[in-house]
Amino acid sequence: MDCLFCRIIAGEIPSTKVYEDDKILAFRDIAPKAPVHILVIPKQHIGGADEVNAENCAVISHIFTKIAEIAKSEGLKDGYRVVSNVGQHGCQSVRHLHFHILGGKQLSEDMV
């Protein structure tokens, strides 16, 4: 298994888990860019948002349902940002679909 996040799912690499069920895992980013920085990933390996299709898309709505719950439980009542980097131009460094939840402070308006 050469996918870092698949190894985290398998428990081969430790992580600070925030939420887990049979379909998804949420854990704290190792290099947080904000006071709250959580990654939410499907347990099924999907390389990135560019590999979402009609067969595997059900997990996306599940992820966003849980993102709302996680944000609430983390106290992000004033808002937060959800980001998924894709490919080289998007600066995706781990090729396993993941959504960053960033919050806990006023974020910059700059996206690029």
Q: Is 56 in the site for ligand DGP (CB under 6 A)?
A: no
CA distance 112 to 104: 20
Smallest gap, in angstroms, from Cβ of residue 30 to ligand DGP?
A: 3
Residue 91 burial (C-beta neighbours within 10 Å; 0-12, 13-18, 19+): exposed
Q: By three-state DSSP, how is residue 41 classified?
A: strand
Half-sphere CA count of 112, side-chain side, radius 13 A: 2
With CB under 6 A as the contact rule, the residue among 91, 108, 110, 112 that binds ligand DGP is: 91
Q: From the CB of 7, what's the least distance to ligand DGP, in Å?
A: 8
Applying CB under 6 A, among 18, 27, 70, 76 the residue interacting with ligand DGP is: 27
Give residue 25's identity as a one-letter amino acid code.
Answer: L
80 binds ligand DGP (CB under 6 A): no
Any contact of residue 40 with ligand DGP (CB under 6 A)? no
